[in-house]
Structure 1
Amino acid sequence: MTDALPGKHPVPLEPPCEPLTGDSHAHLIDPLTTLAAELGYTVEIRDLPEHGPGGWCDATAKQIVIADGRGNAQVRTLVHEIAHSLGVGYDTYGREQAEVLVDCVTYVVCSSVGLDVGGESIPYVAGWGEDGALDTIREYATTIDTVARRIEDALQHDAIETVDGVHSTAA
């Protein structure tokens, strides 16, 4: 049945979101922070309101701010904001397209290191790009790949996996 109930107004639905938990990938914060520094950005981790943004990239001040919390959530947000710092900004792409692009990058990069962010990224992209997200992804697939590879290269360069499967960072 698709007809509205008499006298009732439909409630807008948000895509379901599955927040990240855990610290399994917290070791990636250092190489991501190093990449941000190479790009001329400082990274600040601070307490942010629970229902506010998880972080932001201020291109003018050359600063990335991410919310204090679980390491995996910080990694996801830091990848997202670094993608903005690599030129995927609102001035060039518009807000909706930029957010779709950087979260596609986030999904690709996090997947490449074994961090499943689909529970957050898929609803995020759906929310920003409800009208035309797939077209945006198709049109800018090369941009998504280029930005993702730049971040992945920084993680691969700095990450060393020992025989035990324990991660450390290069000195």
Structure 2
Amino acid sequence: MPRRPTRTPLTDAERDARRAADRDRLEQAARALLTTDGWQRWIKVRGTNGLARYSVSNQLLIAVDCWSRGITPTYVAGFRAFLDLNRCVRKGSKAIKILAPCPVKQRDRSGENTGEKRIFFRTVPVFDVCMTDPLPGKDPVPLQPPAEPITGDSHRHLIAPLTALACELGYTVEIRDLPDGGPGGWCDPKAKQIVIAAGPANSQVRTLTHEIAHGLGVGYAEYGREQAEVLVDCVTYIVCSSVGLDVGGESIPYIAGWGEDGALDAIRAYAGTIDTLARRIEDALETQPDAAANEAAAA
């Protein structure tokens, strides 16, 4: 068996240059958020099932790389991960470069392990599903849930885990008839109550997600009305998209000049907040397949 060629270790100067290049890529990717188009593109990317598992920084690296090639990323994974999904990366496809954490054991001067670890980041290649083909003779694993209209009842089973999350936060949830033309619901942090308008189950899921995002700490007192609503609307769009609700016709809000000073740091913080809140709600919905099966069996 031919021996693999050994890699020449990088010099300290080469490592520093590579880290500087990675930092520059991350900063340029974050700057894309400062534009309305860049912000809205990132929200759409974050709302896909195939990118939620990546960090915000890697989501931005993926998004910017794909946009520069005219690709809308929908499901991103490594070469071997796609093989497990009965897909193979097409020959000649240019990889998307992201950063993966690499823990390294710390050693003292004598070479003994200190028990501590230091985290470095290394560049790893990933690909979008559009760069793959089905493996011959095998059926590709479905990667995205079918999009269901917001006016339907397909996602009724999500109301229970969302209600449970609200209760975990100390809120009661009430679903009742509300006047036409008025709000579809609200979150009262003082009374610890969330009220949702009766109607199609999918619409209830959307509104409940919105109000839970408020309940997770995005209130008018903390952020002001305009920014709070932008944050929770973005969280709602992401969560609903990730579970297969069709919110493509809804606009993604954006505030020009998120911070007069330190705008880049401010928008990074907002993106991190949105990602964290969306993950909290998505984690509560991880039981979706079992809940759906149980409801179908009961029916």
| TM-score past 0.5 threshold | yes
Query: Match of 1:167?
Result: 293
Summarize the Cα distance change of 1:167–1:98 in structure 2 as closer, same or farther, 3 Å threshold: farther
Distance 1:167 1:112, change over 3 A: farther
The one-letter code matched in structure 1 to 2:294 is S
SS at match of 2:151: coil
Amino acid at match of 2:288: A
User: What displacement does 1:168 show?
Assistant: 3.3
Counterpart-to-counterpart distance in 1, 2:224 and 2:239: 22
Superposed CA deviations along residues 41-72 of structure 1, whole A, max 9, x for unmatched, are 00000111111111000000000001000001
Contact 1:24–1:71 (CA under 8 A) maintained in structure 2: yes
Residue 71 (structure 1) aligns with: 201
* Equivalent pairs, count: 141
- TM-score normalized by structure 2? 0.44
| Aligned counterparts of 1:105 and 1:142: Cα–Cα separation in 2 | 11
Matches within 5 A, 1:49-128: 49-120=179-250, 122=251, 125=253
Q: Secondary structure at the match of 1:66?
A: strand
Q: Pick closer, same or farther for the CA change 1:132–1:167 going to 2, 3 Å.
A: farther
CA RMSD of aligned residues (A): 2.2
Secondary structure at 2:164's aligned position in 1? helix
Pair 1:143 & 2:269 matched: no
Q: Tell which structure's C-alpha radius of gyration is larger.
A: 2
Assess, with a 3 A threshold, how the Cα gap between structure 1 residues 159 and 90 changes in structure 2: closer, same or farther.
Answer: same
Cα distance in 1 between the residues matched to 2:161 and 2:150: 20
Query: Do the aligned partners of 1:54 and 1:67 also contact (CA within 8 Å) in 2?
Result: yes
Which one is further off, 138-147 or 67-76?
A: 138-147
Q: Report % sequence identity.
A: 72
Runs of 4+ in 1 over 4 A off after TM superposition: 135-139
Q: Which amino acid aligns with 1:65?
A: V
Task: After TM superposition, give the deviation of residue 139 of structure 1 in Å.
Answer: 4.6
Residues 1:109 and 1:137: Cα distance change in structure 2 (over 3 Å): farther
**Matched residue of 1:53: which SS?**
coil
TM-fit CA distance, 1:138: 5.1
Greater displacement, 77-86 / 110-119: 110-119
TM-score calculated relative to the size of structure 1: 0.74
The 8 Å contact of residues 150 and 245 in structure 2, kept in 1 or not, is answered as no
Structure that is richer in strand per residue:
2
